[in-house]
Amino acid sequence: MRPPQTVAVLGAGSWGTTFAKIAADSGDSRGVQVRVWARRPEAAEEINATRRNSRYLGDIQLPANLQATDDVAEALNGAQLVVLAVPAQTLRAQLREFKSLVPKDAIILSLMKGLEVGTDARMSQVIAEELEWPQDRIAVLSGPNLAMEIAREEPTASVVACSSIETAGWIASACTTPYFRPYTNTDVIGTEIGGIVKNVIALAVGICEGKQMGDNTKASVMTRGLAETTRLAVALGGKSETLFGLSGMGDLIATCSSSLSRNHTAGRLLAQGLTLDEVTGKMQQTAEGIKSAQAVLDRAIQLGVYMPITENVVAVLQGVISVDELGPRLLARELKAEGVHAP
Ligand SMILES: NC(=O)c1ccc[n+]([C@@H]2O[C@H](COP(=O)([O-])OP(=O)(O)OC[C@H]3O[C@@H](n4cnc5c(N)ncnc54)[C@H](O)[C@@H]3O)[C@@H](O)[C@H]2O)c1
Ligand SMILES: O=P(O)(O)OC[C@H](O)CO
């Protein structure tokens, strides 16, 4: 199948704009047009007039075959690939609003890494429900993909997951550049869960960092975080091997190591004594782990999956325990065998 000629990206935040740049750079020689929908008219105007989205990407220059609009109908008109990059908790309401405008033969790609509060649904499930779209035309992209590094064209890899490997390959062909290398797989559940739970683990690692704990502590939290992420993914029907790939371990390492990560930053700020409201007010960007943590824990409890780091991060976010109690509570638990699937 020929790669798409027309790509719509809904959401002109840091990742939506960066992915639009990837798709535009990838398709430049094929005459591909990328249209980004921005909620704020001034953001669309700035992109079209100056080739910049300064609020999210500073001085990064955007390619000429990337246009922005605040009119969602214009963005979606004739799009063969529709890319969704809005905050996870707003997706369902937005799909209800835009549903009639999505071209019926389009393939949908989710860039989002959140779990819906209340339903505990993954973003691909919300898309399938609201658009009544077949699974083989819904894909997700996830991996160690800090937007700002990619916008600067620092090389990275990622994963496109879809139940149809042909669809995944078609999307990969539309977002391959000298600085962005997408792999494909068919494990949508494992790929999404890796991206969702690493945000919760990054909050915990950010707290460790804010409390001046060392690399041993952070490595221990990351490794055991990957173990509980894998348990949840497998209980939901995902494959453990996915969690040891780019969308699991790769993304966990990037997010937990980088001061560019909003989730890591939120953890650091909490450790410095800011309240949750102060943290969200200060950041002004989406840190999905803050809202998704409770949904992850709810899902784990329903399935009988033990997720002690997530459980304690939720307790911190709810103000049930202080940031200083997080470490002692994790270390005071009963000793056990190391394996990922040990009870
Ligand atoms: N930034 C990254 O490095 C990165 C990388 C990979 C995945 N992601 C994921 O992509 C998704 C989008 O993240 P982002 O970094 O682009 O977020 P962002 O906070 O930078 O931007 C969010 C965008 O959504 C828009 N938006 C639309 N409706 C909204 C509403 N009702 N409320 C608030 N904002 C609304 C905002 O105006 C903004 O343009 C998240 O799920 C995130 O986890 C982000
Ligand atoms: O800034 P964060 O914490 O949302 O992380 C961004 C990406 O998900 C990293 O892959």
pLDDT in tens, 81-140: 999 999 999 999 999 999 999 999 999 999 999 999 999 999 999 999 999 999 999 999
Which tens digits make up the pLDDT trace of 7-47?
Answer: 999 999 999 999 999 999 999 999 999 999 999 999 999 99
Domains defined for the chain, CATH in brackets: 6-186 (3.40.50.720), 189-331 (1.10.1040.10)
Which tens digits make up the pLDDT trace of 249-303?
Answer: 999 999 999 999 999 999 999 999 999 999 999 988 999 999 999 999 999 999 9
ipTM entry: 0.98
Q: Is 254 in the pocket of ligand 2 (CB under 6 A)?
A: yes
Looking at ligand 1, which atom is closest to the CA of residue 199? Answer: 43
261 is in an annotated binding site: yes
Checking if the pLDDT of 165 tops 70, the result is yes
Give the residue whose CA is nearest to atom 40 of ligand 1.
112
Output the CA angle 108-142-139, nearest 5 degrees. 25
Q: b/e map of 288-308 (b: 16 or more CB within 10 Å)?
A: bbbbbbbbbbbbbeeeebbbe
Residue 83 CA to ligand 2 centre (angstroms):
17
Q: What is the pLDDT of residue 343?
A: 62
Residue 54 CA to ligand 1 centre (angstroms):
15
Catalytic residue among 21, 99, 198, 239: 198
**Across 42-68, average pLDDT:** 98
- Can you tell me the distance from the alpha carbon of 142 to that of 279, in angstroms, rounded to the nearest whole number? 25
Checking if the pLDDT of 342 tops 70, the result is no
Provide the 3-class DSSP secondary structure of residue 85: coil
- Can you tell me the distance from the alpha carbon of 165 to that of 87, in angstroms, rounded to the nearest whole number? 27
Q: Is 52 in the pocket of ligand 1 (CB under 6 A)?
A: no
Q: Is 94 in the pocket of ligand 2 (CB under 6 A)?
A: no
Looking at ligand 2, which atom is closest to the CA of residue 199? Answer: 3
Whether residue 291 lies in the annotated active site: no
